[in-house]
Structure 1
Amino acid sequence: MLAWLIFFSLPYLLHPTNEKYDRDRMDEKQAWAMYVYFTYLVMVVFFYLNAWVFIPKLVYKKKIVDYILYIVGIFIFMCTMRYTFEKIFLKPHQMDIKPAILFTFFTFSFVLSASTAFQMIVDKMKLERRSSARENELLKTELSLLRSQVSPHFMFNVLNNMVSLARKKSDVLEPSLIKLSSLMRYMLYEADEDKVPLQKETEYLQSYIDLQQQRFGKNVTIQVSLETGDTCYEIEPMLLIPFVENAFKHGTGMITDAMIDIRLYTRDDKLFFSVRNRFNKDSSEIKDKTSGIGLTNVKRRLNLLYGDNYVLHIDKKDDWFIVSLQLNLH
């Protein structure tokens, strides 16, 4: 408010006097007042247009040439507006263009600098708050993520299945051990990175799903389609697994015709991911309380990591629990 008050005072404090025409005439005073108020409005619009549109959409996206063209265009508009005003509303006089341009340039530069500084400071504060909240959230969920992926029921069942395969001397034992080793290695080492290739994330999902398929056998119908495409996209590690784990957690057990459907594909720099599972709303079965980080925490993590660059829908329909996620990868 103080900054706007100072700015609004500038035309009265710094406006150059022009003795070549009589400003004491009432009609010219009214004309100048109208011009000043209109200039206020234009400058206020320019302030927020630069802060909310030009800076985020042009400067931050490295479109510097476009940004300069817009700024120069607005400055020319301001000079033209001043020239047109003097031509129409003031009595004929010898116009001194230089002071008018200098005054317009000074006012324009002041608003441009203030607007740019204002938006950059606001964005920096938002980034710092978001970074701090993200760090706190990641620390809170780290243990839950580890518990989620090393849940006792999952690990014990996988290991018991492998013991059974070893006794039968099954050829499936070796690839199962490789999948479990790959899953553990990714979880304990590669998941420490800020981002990982989407291909690695889907390989981790596939290993997890394969081990669950081996665990449940024919008791659960599992349909999987993971298409990452040829583009080298990156994603935060272990971002998708909670949805898959949740499907196995609530979509198995005392459920008739248990089925889990998992789909992933990319189109136009966007990731489309969906998980569907049948559930029994009347079941009172107590699930493993140590597994899973909860969809509420997943939503919070998505908000911190992606802000407005994701869409998440969670719905229950006709005994189906449906999760649909869309991420902007760039």
Structure 2
Amino acid sequence: MNMQSEQNLSHKKEIIFQVILNLILFLSYAIEVPKCTIALWTPFYYLNYASAAMFISYVLLPKFFYHEKYKLFALSVLGVVFWLMLMEEGVLEPIFFPDTRGRIIGNVVYTFIDVLPVMMLLVGFKFAWDSVKKQQELNKLRTLVKESELQFLKTQINPHFLFNNLNNLYSYAIENSKKTPSIILELASVLRYMLYDCKEDFVPLEKEIEHVQNFTKLNELQIENRGEVILDVPEVVSTYKIAPLILNVFIENAFKHSTASQSSNIFVHISLHVKKDELFFQCKNSFGLQSNNDNLSKGIGLQNVRKRLDFLYEDDYQLVIEPQEEVYTVTLKMRLKS
């Protein structure tokens, strides 16, 4: 349903509720107990009250009250009440109750007491309706902002990852390496997954695991013969779902910081296990003593992952980052979605 249709539906609902409310108020105002009859004059008096209430609700509230012009609103309401009394005393009273003319003070007090409950209920209903509608709009806006931010955080492709892999692919192609076709397939698979398969907030766990395997193999090209990469990911058959690309940053950081600070003896150990509805992920990597540990745990990528985890999992995850002596460990435990 588009925005215009939603607005039209909201207006229709408001009109229906207004009609029902006015009907109830009119009957409670007009029916004389115990005769259960309606006097001829009551529809005209009630129409006078309802018209004043509608004017306050649909003109004065949006024009003054909602723009915080409270003094102008109060003065305008007093003007409407004065006009209402003038209509009653000057027009309706002479027609229906000509014998009561001349009792100005008593009539004014009676009119004010008579009109106040009806107007307060009608104006109060409109104010409550607008408040609920405003809250719904705010909630919808928050949801849209949240979805937009999640989509932005999710779909960012690290340009360094793409640049490094294209460089590696070029080098292997120049050497006529037999690895070239498999690298092309893995890169195509990773990019396809990142660009097209991750549009939903959650994807099948098997797809994410397959992506982790391809993504790790591509990053492994950076190490070549300078170290060891262990990927411990047993085959998982599951109906559970996971937020896509959550694990990307941890894997990418492991390779980036290891290769940037070491020229040999590099190791990256990635393990992923599922037990019932919980996922256990751990990524360990070596790094040189000259690396800045603070930067490792405070990067933009990690901040984005934390935001996504907070949005999507709230209290259903635990993320522990431990920079120790020459070993950097990330441990993530999260409850999977069914």
Residue of structure 1 in register with 2:285 after alignment? 277
Residue of structure 2 in register with 1:267 after alignment? 275
Residue of structure 1 in register with 2:225 after alignment? 218
CA offset at residue 220 of structure 1? Answer: 3.1
Residue of structure 1 in register with 2:146 after alignment? 134
> How many percent identity over aligned positions?
35
Residue type matched to 1:299 in 2? R
1:252 paired to 2:259: yes
Residue of structure 1 in register with 2:175 after alignment? 168
CA offset at residue 130 of structure 1? Answer: 7.4
CA offset at residue 129 of structure 1? Answer: 8.8
Q: Tell me the distance in 1 between the aligned counterparts of 2:140 and 2:315.
A: 17
TM-score using structure 2 length:
0.52
CA offset at residue 170 of structure 1? Answer: 2.2
Residue of structure 1 in register with 2:58 after alignment? none
Q: CA RMSD in A?
A: 2.8
1:300 paired to 2:312: no
* Cα 1:229–1:140 shift into 2, 3 Å: closer
CA offset at residue 140 of structure 1? Answer: 4.5
Residue of structure 2 in register with 1:204 after alignment? 211
CA offset at residue 165 of structure 1? Answer: 2.3
Note if contact 1:223-1:262 (Cα within 8 Å) is conserved in structure 2: yes
Pick the aligned partner of 1:325 from 295, 317, 332: 332
SS for the counterpart of 2:279 is strand
- Structure showing greater relative contact order (alpha-carbon pairs closer than 8 Å, 6 or more residues apart): 1
* Cα 1:147–1:300 shift into 2, 3 Å: same
SS for the counterpart of 1:299 is helix
Structure 1: unaligned runs, 5 residues or longer: 1-123
Residue type matched to 1:194 in 2? D
Note if contact 1:220-1:252 (Cα within 8 Å) is conserved in structure 2: no
Q: Tell me the distance in 2 between the aligned counterparts of 1:222 and 1:262.
A: 8
Residue type matched to 2:163 in 1? F
Q: Tell me the distance in 2 between the aligned counterparts of 1:329 and 1:139.
A: 19
CA offset at residue 133 of structure 1? Answer: 5.8
Residue of structure 2 in register with 1:187 after alignment? 194
Residue of structure 2 in register with 1:230 after alignment? 237
- CA offsets per residue over residues 54-94 of structure 1, 9 Å max, x none? xxxxxxxxxxxxxxxxxxxxxxxxxxxxxxxxxxxxxxxxx
Structure 2: unaligned runs, 5 residues or longer: 1-135
Bigger Cα Rg = 2
Q: How many residues align?
A: 197
